[in-house]
Structure 1
Amino acid sequence: MKAKKTGPPPMRVLAITNNKGGVGKTTSAVSIGAALQRQGARVLMVDLDMQANLTNNLGGELELALHVGDALVGAVPLAEVILTTEAGLDLVPADFRLASYEPIIYKQKDYHTRLATALATVQGTYDYVVVDCPPSLQTFTYMALAAADAYLIPTEPEKFAFDGLRLVKELADQIERRINPGLQFLGVFFTRYNAKQRNSMHAAVVQAVREEYGEESLLPSVRRDAAVVQSQVHVKTIYDHKPDSNAAMDYAALAEIVRAKLA
């Protein structure tokens, strides 16, 4: 009998996505990445949003010679784009110039594989890659889901945010069928959540998610917490700013779930 091959577990790629902006997507990407790092993982953050909120959240107003678009068009290896931030998280940054790269990338053959191909070059260097997708379902989100092992959808308990969630799930299901059969839906979680809020729409949206996607897809919520905004002002992760805050504890719990589901 042949011995089973042993070695480090494969690098896991996690996309954080929602078709609607302002739902805590970037905050969640930063916080989950930082939580995974605190739990001992080697983490690479990838910013695919031309607004560069993830980049600014981790590094402030950086003067970038290179950004993620340069690696996606094949101009430079991904390793040449990676920066190490003060939080200790490695980052593939974005900036406003990414907007001009989208039509170029879209016209390339098998464009949807570009991110997966770039990430394959750092396999073995990281345990997790956390990708912050733009608030749209176009080229960069498509590439992220095509490259991902799994995705999470942060949302607020509001009607329009729920509609965005449905569109993301439909696109991801399409990509799973056609391109990436291993893509896993880890679930939905609510941000800026207040369980004590007496709001019929609030409760109705939570129940709608439960009914449409199943109890197992409804992940623990992240409580509304002023420490999140304060950490962004100070250009720090929630763990560097206030690690004992409610939001920090909630994101740590989410990171534990991510690790368990992707083990």
Structure 2
Amino acid sequence: MSDPTPVFGDLCEESEQLDRMVAELRSEQWGLATPAAGWSVAHQIAHLAWTDRSALLAVTDPEGFKGLVEKALAAPGSFVDQGAEEGAGLPPGELLERWRAGRAALDQALRAVPAGARLPWYGPPMSAASMATARLMETWAHGLDVAGALGVTSAPTDRLRHIARLGFRTRDFAHVVHGLPVPAEPFRVELRSPAGEVWAYGPEDAAQRVTGPALDFCLLVTQRAHRADLALTATGPGADRWLDIAQAFAGPPGAGRAPARKGAAR
């Protein structure tokens, strides 16, 4: 990605859209349950605020960030939940201001990262543009959970192109975290954007292929919907296996969501 400016701007827009969703909530609405088991609206925003602060530390103090990685490795099953739980206990106004301040500071820091620099993370090191893409992916995914709790629907936008590209690029990572061999064959992914365009990744002649709506692919790789509830088609055994384990976020394998008819689970 030669010019990272678009993803920085899109991350800000995605955050502002979610901000508008929660800015005027009553205190009791912050406690509403979301589709993520055990997480309220407050937990979702607290998680975003916590992760933004982690990303800011990775950008501004890489050595200090190593301490967070060590904590994550020591308690991989509870590390993320602890961060969300701590923030969710704050008064809603304080939590909202903490999230706003953190994401503004991160935006400024990411824009100042020198071209070609690599930033540490819980997964492989990444560029500033990739860091912003990961933050956009999480903001969108957790925003879906908040919308589910509030009973509102947000129309998909072309900002999904960043998440779709990340989902494609994390194919190998998804196999590694599941203890599976990385496929040797190239994959082709062709997605229909919200505007009706085709977003394509991988060689045109690849035998392993995934096709369908970009929204559905993004829901899959963020594990916000079960594959059975999505209109994605896999051609080839490798592509079929990938759709069962796809994961665009760092960390251990996610539990995903159960099919809609069985309810949701984080």
Structure 1 length-normalised TM: 0.29
Higher relative contact order (CA 8 A, sep 6+): 1
Structure 2 length-normalised TM: 0.29
Q: Which has the higher strand share?
A: 1
